[in-house]
Amino acid sequence: MNVAIFHARSGTRVRLALAALFIGTVLARPLHAEFPSKYRIADLKALEAAFVDLAKDLRPTTVAIRTYYVHRPDDRRQGLVKAPVSHGSGVIIDANGYIATNKHVLDEPANNYVVVLDSGEKFEAELKQADLRSDLAVLKIDARNLKAAQWGDLTNVRVNQWTISVGNPFGLGNHDGNLSVGLGTVTSLGRSLTDRLAENRNLQYYGNLIESSSPINPGNSGGPLFNVDGQLIGIVTAIETSSGVNEGAGFAIPIDRNTRRILETLKTGRRVKYGYLGIVVGDTDASNVRRVVDGRVYHGAVIQKIDLQDGPASRGGLKPRDIIIEVDGMPVRDSDHLTQLVSFTPAGEDTVLTFLRRGVKRKATIQLGDRYKLLGLVEEE
């Protein structure tokens, strides 16, 4: 069976004996004891009512997004043609009309964006800015006094907490803004899908994702993932599926201080600047993942290649096979963690890297470069 990752843009005897004893005990109970009492049902109804109220509270923070390609055909006698391209979801992050979504929801050839509120009102939206690396974008509509989502934070998210997804699966809310609400749990934290989703690992990053069992289907991309406090903890971005639809494994970009900084930058129309070393890194070999140096245990990430010969790492004296174990005193867990730590350190800032070279601990102070500039994606400013 082929499994694919899609953007949501669319002591054996003793054990057996114990098990038999347990089953026998259950079957020996009176049947009436298996039915819940009226008090248990009342508890369930109270819980159900709480979720119903929560859904009513969260839906106005979420929008449906419809994208179009508007162009003039070769026959100049015809007017502009508006062709639908895709649909997705978004979440209101500012009451004055700012909406966060995924960049891939707005990708070419789309050049016209329509936002549908929970009320059914439709607005043409302006793209303030989109960021390829984070797959985030911010739209602006001419509206005021909207209901903005309340910020949550990844540091407070735990596995098996309830999650609520709100979105526009299959474009069902395109017409009237009647969005779908689903309930699930956090099934895992820290998922990395960069290898599966990124067309170019230098340009795109899908790491540290929240995995959730909340129903997520094509069209949920860009929509919110909430906790039971009604706080925004993630922005839905992908599903893992063998059928093309929800199979219980959806993924969301986590909300933390770095994500909020990216969104605030995009709101202003400015591009995001990511720190960059100019290296290719990988995880250390399993046999060497625990390295004891100076009485301390280190993990780290190994430099596989110096990608830019005149880049920050090269100028700082780093070499292939060096193992970076700390960034500004923060222990490095693995290659994905190193990518996070470097990317979210402002470009141009001096950073102290601690690394191992043939088992000897060393330090280097390196001024991080601007990823997009060093890769030639933007002109000098």
The pLDDT score that the predictor gives to residue 288 is 57
> Is the separation of the CB atoms in 217 and 169 below 8 Å?
yes
Specify the 3-state DSSP secondary structure of 109.
coil
Q: Residue 156 above 50 pLDDT?
A: yes
Average pLDDT of the residues of the chain: 88
> Is the separation of the CB atoms in 235 and 225 below 8 Å?
yes
Q: Residue 13 above 50 pLDDT?
A: no
> Is the separation of the CB atoms in 212 and 238 below 8 Å?
no
104 in active site? yes
CA contacts within 13 A on the Cβ side of 157: 30
Of 7, 104, 256, 307, catalytic: 104
The pLDDT score that the predictor gives to residue 369 is 96
Q: Could you tell me which residue, 292 or 308, shows the higher pLDDT?
A: 308
CA geometry: angle 31, 35, 37, nearest 5 deg:
135
Per cent of the chain over pLDDT 70 is: 85
CA geometry: angle 352, 253, 66, nearest 5 deg:
135
Peptide bond preceding 331 in cis form (omega within 30 of 0): no
The residue type found at 132 is L
Tokens of 241: 């599926």
Return all residues near 353 (Cβ < 8 A) that are at least 6 apart: 316, 318, 324, 326, 327, 363, 364, 365, 366
Q: What is the CATH number of domain 157-166+182-261?
A: 2.40.10.10
Specify the 3-state DSSP secondary structure of 171.
helix
* Centroid of chain to Cα 40: 37
159-176 pLDDT, tens digit each = 999 999 999 999 999 999
For 22-26, 52-56, 118-122, 365-369, which range has the lowest pLDDT when averaged over its residues?
22-26
332-367 pLDDT, tens digit each = 999 999 999 999 998 999 999 999 999 899 999 999
pLDDT level of residue 281 (50, 70, 90 thresholds):
very high
The pLDDT score that the predictor gives to residue 72 is 82
DSSP label of 48: H
Q: Residue 247 above 80 pLDDT?
A: no
Rg, Å, the chain Cα set: 25
| Number of neighbouring beta carbons within 10 Å of residue 42 | 11
The residue type found at 277 is L
Q: Residue 3 above 50 pLDDT?
A: no
Specify the 3-state DSSP secondary structure of 97.
coil
314 in active site? no
pLDDT level of residue 373 (50, 70, 90 thresholds):
very high
Tokens of 55: 């859904």
Nearest to 277 by CA among 200, 196, 365, 198: 365
Q: Residue 185 above 80 pLDDT?
A: yes
Q: How far apart are CA 277 and CA 113, in angstroms?
A: 36
The pLDDT score that the predictor gives to residue 31 is 47
100-146 pLDDT, tens digit each = 999 999 999 999 999 999 999 999 999 999 999 999 999 999 999 99
Nearest to 347 by CA among 319, 311, 308, 307: 311
Per cent of the chain over pLDDT 90 is: 72
Look-up: residue for tokens 């549908």? 116
Q: How far apart are CA 185 and CA 301, in angstroms?
A: 31
CA geometry: angle 325, 201, 129, nearest 5 deg:
110
Q: Residue 78 above 80 pLDDT?
A: no
The pLDDT score that the predictor gives to residue 14 is 29
> Is the separation of the CB atoms in 188 and 252 below 8 Å?
no
296-327 pLDDT, tens digit each = 778 899 999 999 989 999 999 999 999 999 99
Beta-sheet pairing, 162-167 with 275-276 = unpaired
Q: What is the CATH number of domain 275-374?
A: 2.30.42.10
Question: What residues does 369 pair with on adjacent strands?
Answer: 276
The pLDDT score that the predictor gives to residue 79 is 79
DSSP label of 222: T
Q: How far is CA 309 from CA 65, 80, 229, 264, 274, in A?
A: 43, 49, 49, 33, 19
For 48-57, 168-177, 191-200, which range has the lowest pLDDT when averaged over its residues?
191-200
Q: Residue 39 above 90 pLDDT?
A: no
> Is the separation of the CB atoms in 264 and 293 below 8 Å?
no
Burial class (CB in 10 A: 0-12, 13-18, 19+), 73: exposed
175 in active site? no
Q: Where in the chain is CATH 2.40.10.10?
A: 157-166+182-261
Tokens of 34: 């298996």
Q: How far apart are CA 322 and CA 303, in angstroms?
A: 6
The pLDDT score that the predictor gives to residue 29 is 46
For 23-37, 42-56, 213-227, 330-344, which range has the lowest pLDDT when averaged over its residues?
23-37
Of 135, 256, 307, 336, catalytic: 135
The pLDDT score that the predictor gives to residue 202 is 84
Q: What average pLDDT does this structure show over 255-273? A: 97
Q: Where in the chain is CATH 2.30.42.10?
A: 275-374
Of 10, 192, 221, 343, catalytic: 221
Q: Could you tell me which residue, 6 or 42, shows the higher pLDDT?
A: 42
pLDDT level of residue 377 (50, 70, 90 thresholds):
confident
pTM of the complete model: 0.85
Specify the 3-state DSSP secondary structure of 313.
helix
